[in-house]
C-alpha cells in the first residue's frame, strides 16, 4: 500500500512532526511511505527520518531557491483557509503546488496533519484514495470561522482522526459529518533506548514551545515555592519560542538564577528527561501531551495540569504521575514537593510510567491505522450513500423552509 502524509514543514521542530515521522517509520515496515512537506526553509530536517520514507518538499522558501523568485510566492493563498493560524505562511504558489501534487498522486491513502492542509486534501486528493484528516490541535481551539470552513470541507473526507477520545467526542457532537468516520488514535512515541531515570537526580525538567499557552510562567512561579523548601533542586526548561525573554525576566525577578534555566532546543529530548527525576507540564490546554509520554517512556514520572484534553488519557493520577488543577500554582508546587520528598515513591511511579507508556509504542498505533484503512475501504460505498442521503435531506429541508417562508409572506399580505 502507498501511504502519503501531508505536513506543514517537516524541516522544523514540533510535536506534529515528531509523531508523523514516528508513525511513518512504523508503517514503512509494510508499506511505501512518502512525507510531503508543504514548505521547506532549510537544507536538512532537524529530526532524523527513516531512510525508507521519501520526503517531497513542495515550496522552497530558502533565499537561493527558484521558488523565492516566483511572484506567486508573494500572492495570498486562495484555497488555504484564511482563518487558519498558518495562513500568512501560505501563498498562491502553495495552493497550486498542493493541487498539482495531489491531482497526480497515486497513493492509496493520503493523510493530512493540520487543518489548512486537510482542506487541500479534501479539495484536491483523488476520490480513489482514502482521505484521512488528522487533528493534532483540538476542535475548541479552532476559531468559530475556521470550524465553519473545516466543516464544509471535512464532509468530503473518509475519516477525521483526533489524538484523544475526548476530542473525538467533541467533533462527533459539534461537527456534523455524515459518512465520515470520526475516531481517536493516540500519537506514538518509540522506546528511547537509554537507561531509564533512576529518580535520584535533583532535577525537574520541562519541554515545549515557549508560548503563553504552555504556562511555563506558572511552572517557574511554582518552582519558586519548591526551591524555598528544597534548595538543592533545579528546574530545566527545554524549547524555544516567543515567550523566551519574558520567561527569563521572570526567572531573574524570582531570584532563581542558577536554579532555573532555559536550556534551548534539544532533540531528541529523551536523554534530558532521563537525567531528571520529575518532568512537569503546566499547560492551559493540550491536544495530546507528547512530552508527557516521552518522559514516561524514560521512566520519569510527570506532574501535569489536568487540562483539556490529553493529560487525563495519558496519566493515571497517583500511579504513574500526578494531575493537578489547571492554573493552580499552589497545587502544582505541592505535587512537585510531594514527589521530591518521596524518593522511593518517585522510583515506583517512574517504573509504572515506563510500563504504562508502552501502549504508545509505534507498532500498535500503526496497526490501529491499518485497521482503520481496512474499515474505510470496506465501508466506502455505505458511507458514500450516507453522504448522498444527508445531502438530499438537506436540500429537501431547505426547499421546505423556502416554501414555508413564501406561504407565510402571502398569508400576512
> Which residue in 343, 204, 200 sits closest to 260, CA to CA?
204
Q: Which residues are paired to 59 by β-bridges? A: 39
The residues spanned by each domain of the chain are 2-184, 203-358
Torsion-angle region of 154 (φ positive above 0: left; ψ -120 to 50: alpha; else: beta): alpha
Provide the grid cell at 310: 490529553
**How much is the pLDDT for 220?**
97
Task: Give me the residue label for grid cell 506514538.
Answer: 188
**How much is the pLDDT for 412?**
58
**How much is the pLDDT for 407?**
62
Q: In CATH, what is the architecture of 203-358? A: 3-Layer(aba) Sandwich (3.40)
β-pairing, 278-281 vs 203-207, is: parallel
**How much is the pLDDT for 273?**
94
Asked whether the beta carbons of 322 and 335 are under 8 A apart, the reply is yes
**How much is the pLDDT for 39?**
98
Cβ neighbours around 100 below 10 Å, total: 12
Cβ neighbours around 158 below 10 Å, total: 25
E strands within 272-329?
Answer: 278-281, 302-305, 321-324
**How much is the pLDDT for 146?**
96
Task: Give me the residue label for grid cell 450516507.
Answer: 386
**How much is the pLDDT for 223?**
97
Domain pair 2-184 / 203-358, same fold: yes
Task: Give me the residue label for grid cell 531528571.
Answer: 276
Q: Which residues of the chain register pLDDT less than 70?
A: 194-195, 390-400, 402-403, 406-413
Fold classified for 2-184: Rossmann fold (3.40.50)
DSSP 3-state assignment of 319?
A: coil
Amino acid at each position: 500500500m502507498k501511504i502519503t502524509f501531508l505536513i506543514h514543514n517537516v524541516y522544523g521542530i514540533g510535536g506534529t512532526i515528531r509523531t508523523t515521522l514516528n508513525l511513518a517509520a512504523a508503517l514503512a515496515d509494510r508499506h511505501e511511505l512518502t512525507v510531503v512537506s508543504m514548505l521547506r526553509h532549510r537544507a536538512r530536517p532537524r529530526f532524523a527520518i527513516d531512510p525508507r520514507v521519501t520526503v517531497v518538499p513542495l515550496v522552497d522558501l530558502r533565499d537561493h531557491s527558484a521558488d523565492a523568485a516566483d511572484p506567486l510566492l508573494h500572492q495570498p493563498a486562495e484555497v488555504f483557509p484564511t482563518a487558519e493560524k498558518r495562513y500568512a505562511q501560505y501563498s498562491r504558489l502553495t495552493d497550486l503546488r498542493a493541487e498539482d501534487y495531489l491531482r497526480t498522486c497515486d497513493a492509496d491513502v493520503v493523510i493530512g496533519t493540520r487543518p489548512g492542509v486537510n482542506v487541500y486534501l479534501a479539495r484536491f486528493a483523488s476520490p480513489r484514495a482514502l482521505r484521512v484528516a488528522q487533528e493534532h490541535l483540538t476542535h475548541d481551539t479552532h476559531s468559530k470561522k475556521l470550524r465553519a470552513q473545516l466543516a464544509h470541507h471535512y464532509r468530503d473526507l473518509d475519516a477525521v482522526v483526533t489524538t484523544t477520545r475526548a476530542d473525538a467526542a467533541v467533533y462527533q457532537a459539534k461537527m456534523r459529518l455524515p459518512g465520515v468516520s470520526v475516531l481517536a488514535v493516540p500519537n506514538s512515541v518509540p522506546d528511547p533506548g537509554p537507561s531509564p531515570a533512576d529518580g535520584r537526580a535533583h532535577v525537574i525538567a520541562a519541554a515545549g514551545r515557549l508560548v503563553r499557552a504552555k504556562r511555563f510562567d506558572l511552572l517557574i512561579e511554582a518552582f519558586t515555592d519548591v526551591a524555598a523548601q528544597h534548595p538543592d533542586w533545579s528546574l530545566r526548561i527545554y524549547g524555544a519560542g516567543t515567550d523566551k525573554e519574558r520567561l527569563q525576566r521572570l526567572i531573574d525577578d524570582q531570584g532563581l538564577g542558577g536554579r532555573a534555566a532555559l536550556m534551548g532546543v534539544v532533540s531528541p529530548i529523551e536523554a534530558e528527561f532521563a537525567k531528571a527525576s520529575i518532568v512537569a507540564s503546566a499547560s492551559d490546554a493540550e491536544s495530546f501531551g507528547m512530552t508527557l509520554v516521552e518522559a514516561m517512556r524514560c521512566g520519569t514520572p510527570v506532574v501535569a495540569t489536568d487540562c483539556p484534553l490529553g493529560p487525563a488519557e495519558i496519566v493515571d493520577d497517583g500511579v504513574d504521575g500526578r494531575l493537578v488543577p489547571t492554573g493552580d500554582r499552589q497545587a502544582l508546587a505541592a505535587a512537585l514537593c510531594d514527589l521530591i520528598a518521596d524518593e522511593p515513591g518517585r522510583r515506583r511511579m517512574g517504573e509504572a510510567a515506563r510500563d504504562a507508556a508502552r501502549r504508545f509504542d509505534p507498532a500498535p498505533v500503526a496497526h490501529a491505522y491499518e485497521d482503520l484503512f481496512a474499515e474505510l475501504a470496506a465501508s466506502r460505498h455505505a458511507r458514500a450513500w450516507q453522504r448522498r442521503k444527508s445531502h438530499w435531506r438537506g436540500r429537501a429541508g431547505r426547499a421546505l423552509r423556502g416554501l414555508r417562508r413564501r406561504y407565510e409572506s402571502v398569508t400576512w399580505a
